[in-house]
Structure 1
């Protein structure tokens, strides 16, 4: 894995496809894909893009689509998104890309022919010097475009095309966003982190709750996750970052069966913290799954278990390794310290 960018790296640029491309980004080598989760397979595509760009003294960009194309073609089957747009941009910046361009995936975009995708989008709007895609990348109306189509177009129009083969994990299987989703749905955080190359995290505003946790001696910072989130419901050891400070904590993701089933909420008890968190943007990184959510005989039994959960979470977090270089860089950025050295 490549060294991560230093503090001297130019500012990361986020653009919509319809924005005017800055002259400094013309001729860039561009990684193309959905990149949900930016797992190790996606990182291999980015690394190949960076290698090609640096070899030719060009900028390196990513080009992706929002919403996820599956949400357009099958809206009745919501996608469990691993990395919403803001998180995806943070991951790409941490990997060393110079910027991200996002196309709105709507009926008009989905209706582009493969040839129009090349000529109007890649050449016209992105002004690519080269592109990098995964082995299974398809594009254009009816998914007519594939790596072979792209390679032929590149030869005609004078841009390079690199195709990255599947990333094979240590278990011999290919990494994929679907595998990451399945691991998170099973509460297997170690498997998910091994596929992603970092511990999975969510980011969003702290919202008001019923303040029941405070009455139980465990005040919580509540966050609402996307309805399609399929993370296994239960209790987790987590880190909670807010205002540039990372705190250890224990979190419950679920419907709180002790007090009646409701919509799932992420409730984090931040250890040794006093202060008002409402409305602040926080990041919760999931470190270890502790137990499933359950209903106890009474509230006293619940509180007793909460004390045990907190003690277990403290022990887990005290022995937590700092993670991969990418994870350390992401943590440094969340703390407002810039890229990790």
Structure 2
């Protein structure tokens, strides 16, 4: 962990999927940050979907990924928690981490208590909270008038999404999540799947109210690539417009966007999968009074991913006003 003499600040990160895990890996090493991750509970596919239905619990998959990202001894735990059984009629397809969360939930009798207990066992750096203590069902209203239910079904419909709704509509946010937002110095939203990881958190009534009332800077971290079936041909403004259709107030003070050029051969490879770079058009957010921070934010292994180190530097600059150079 990075040791520093800066005053302690409180950061809340809201989202789900690999994007949330990436930014948390960068921020967890900063000793002056008190981190809280608020994680979506709308997943209904794969191992998470099966456990959700059979055990009547919130889906554990996104929570599992965040616990691994924030764990002190991450490499070994990642292999253990992310291991998926390949054999057995009942076990095949399940990740060991999901089963451990499910088992802890049965031992403690409560999903949130189970997450807290596993956080202690794993020496997690920060606090991990589901957006709610129960599963939510996502329903997408498409631009052709059709309605698609279920998080895993929404991208498969391959239609333009106009509006997302939660069931039940009166779902209650965790008091700890609301308190974290209220006390935060900075709130980071994204990166992650726009309609299935980001917006569902914002539709929880208490969370939206807390975001409206907090004095924290609220910053949007834009995706680097579009997601097939969700954000086809979206640029940064399209992402933020979609979020603003679902909240009742101007949410963001800043947006962090990638303006680094992705190599053409990589763009072509992603094009075969139906994805493309998320572009930013200069001054396109001026009417929303959002300060835009532009930089090269991606790195490549087999896939294009956010650069956790670069994002960390930008976030610290937003908090402390120094230590970041383009």
| TM-score (structure 1 length as normaliser) | 0.29
Flag the structure with higher strand content: 1
Flag the structure with higher helix content: 2
| TM-score (structure 2 length as normaliser) | 0.30
